[in-house]
Structure 1
Amino acid sequence: MSESPLKVWLDRDGTLLRLRLARPKANIVDAAMIAALRQALAEHRDRPELRAALLDHEGPHFSFGASVEEHLPEQCEQMLKSLHALIRDMLDFPLPLLVAIRGQCLGGGLEVAAAGSMLFAAPDTRLGQPEIKLAVFAPAASCLLPERIGQARAEDLLLSGRSMDAEEALAARLIDDLSDDPEAAALAWFDKHLAPHSASTLRFAVRAAREEYRQRIFAKLERVETLYLSELMATHDAVEGLRAFLEKRQPTWENR
């Protein structure tokens, strides 16, 4: 597919970087999407007038998640390392990264969203980490969600594979704002709370606020990535769960 999976432009007189997932309706977080996001963040992060970025999406759903095909043993190391590099790029982005969400926000899609600074969501939003149903786990979410919503709520999502609706996600602080038009809400928040500030001082404020948070996430992400690649993917059930999903059949667990 030659068309870019991501639309990128500058808004608000060059002070707001706009990033839009552009492969509806699924907006799968595959190698091409990851590469496009990383490139856009790298190209624009040093613009001196920039005050924030806003990530949103075309179509009814933010993202159904990462590519299951790329999770298979032949590709999973490259896929996981590139996704985790994107998560680190997002956490390293020197300015607030706002996220506007509608519809399904699942798996790798929620991992990307949760690496943002503030999440604005519509009432139809559903957020979840269904990886456990395929006999794998979500490494980045295992690092991000406990920080964002606390250990117990994070384990609820990570171990059950269920989704939260928007009201529950707001109460859990998984999302920060609930609005019929999350894009408009994010833009209004930018206009009121970020646009008036010094762009250079915002960068220092972001560094100061995130310093220990970033260190914790980066260190844990490295450990859980090794756990996933070296131990989980050596099990029968992890490969069986992924293949069963792709073959549209029920998995046969051997508990090993």
Structure 2
Amino acid sequence: MPAVNVQVNAPSGTIQLTRPDQRNALDRSAIEELSQAFFDLHQEKQVRGVILTASGAHFCAGLDLKQMHQTASGDPQSALGAWHDDWTQLRDLLETMLRFPKPIIAAVDGTALGAGFGLALAADLIVATPSASFGVPAVRRGLISGVVSPLLCFRGGGKTAARMMLTGEQIDAAKALRLNLIDEIVDADKIWVRANQLVVDCAAAPAEAIQLSKRLLNETVGETLLMQMSVGAAMGATACTTEAAAEGLAAFTEKRDPNWP
């Protein structure tokens, strides 16, 4: 079954994560499909903006920890190469979103954690339901949110990023709104309609002006962001090779509390 569903309802295109049984966690195939979906909607001239949403009770629980545990269980040298490839793949997806010439609206219902929070932060605007929640809980698994952390700093500031990264705290939509991490809170039955209206609002401006505005934000105000994300990808891969990461991933798979080395 595909991990992503794409629909066009001009002027918007919708990308929906479709792994609800896995809390829409991102494995390698899902990241590839997301990248392809953005490429396809880039080519659709009738699409003036993209809505990123998900099926089920969760927006996205982050990277697929079961797949990560399988990688950690293999040959250490091969695992290091796989970690590097995985983190680079995620970094490239988020860069694709940041460089995407059309506005991206994340419509978040349920949890958006780790890389899932990163997907939302890489969007231009975020609308969320009252039950939405956000966090970067990687430290509680002996890992770091290497690629997401620079985005969190960019969108929310260093103090907010430090608290969320170091404590693994998960915050609700109301607090995320107070911290300016999201733009609006909308009832679940109206969230796609509201996201679509934001696309319509953006489509009232010429496409060239929208594209240049995005470049202004992401390549001037955030001029070092992509470099920081590359550094974060390298650090994220390295963190995956530690004893703490191995224990954290094993504890997740075995559904127990970690016993830190």
- When normalised by structure 1's length, the TM-score is 0.91
* Identity level (%): 27
Partner in structure 2 of residue 30 of structure 1: 27
- Give the CA deviation at 1:54: 0.7
**Aligned mates of 1:221, 1:77 — CA distance in 2:** 13
- Distance in 2, matches of 1:214 and 1:87, equals 14
For residues 40 and 221 of structure 2, what CA distance do their matches in structure 1 show? 24
Matched, 1:220 2:220: no
SS of equivalent residue, structure 2 residue 26: coil
Is 1:229 aligned with 2:237? yes
Q: Secondary structure at the match of 2:16?
A: strand
Provide structure 2 residue ranges, at least 5 long, that are not aligned to the other structure.
Answer: 73-78
Cα pair 2:114 2:138 within 8 Å, conserved: yes
**Matching residue of 1:44:** 41
Does residue 182 of structure 2 align to residue 175 of structure 1? yes
Match of 1:71?
A: 68
Mapped to 2, the partners of 1:200 and 1:249 lie a distance apart of 52
Deviates more, 1:204-213 or 1:146-155: 204-213
Provide the aligned C-alpha RMSD in A.
Answer: 1.6
CA distance in 1, matches of 2:229, 2:86: 14
The 1:174–1:219 alpha-carbon spacing in structure 2 relative to 1, beyond 3 Å, is same
Which of 212, 222, 225 pairs up with 1:204?
212
Match of 2:75 in 1: none
With over 3 angstroms needed to count, the CA separation of the structure-2 counterparts of 1:222 and 1:81, relative to structure 1, is: same
Tell me the distance in 2 between the aligned counterparts of 1:147 and 1:140: 12
Please name the residue that 1:186 is paired with: 195
Give the conservation status (yes or no) of the 8 Å contact 2:87–2:236: no
Residue identity opposite 1:55 in structure 2: L
Is the 1:61–1:105 Cα contact (8 Å) retained in structure 2? yes
Aligned to 2:56, the other structure's residue is in SS state: coil
CA-CA distance at 1:200 after TM superposition: 3.1
**Is structure 2 residue 238 aligned with structure 1 residue 242?**
no
Output the CA distance in 2 between the equivalents of 1:132 and 1:59. 26
Deviations 1:149-198 (A, max 9, x none): 1111111111111111111000001111111132221112222x212222
- 1:62 has 2:70 as partner: no
- Tell whether the 8 Å contact from 2:8 to 2:47 is kept in structure 1 after alignment: no
User: Secondary structure of the equivalent of 2:15?
Assistant: strand
Work out which of the residue numbers 139, 162, 165 in structure 2 matches 1:132: 139
1:64 is paired with a residue of what secondary structure? coil
Q: Distance in 2 between matches of 1:47 and 1:208?
A: 23
Residue equivalent to 1:96: 103
Q: Report the secondary structure of 1:17's partner residue.
A: strand
Structure 1: 5+ residue stretches without partners? none
More helix by share: 2
Count of aligned residue pairs for this structure pair: 248
Letter in 1 for 2:195: A
Is 1:148 the counterpart of 2:155? The answer is yes
Counterpart residue identity of residue 18, structure 1: T
Distance 1:203 1:226 in 2: 29
Q: Please give the alpha-carbon distance, in whole angstroms, between the structure 2 residues aligned to 1:177 and 1:4.
A: 30
Change (3 A) 1:122 1:240: same
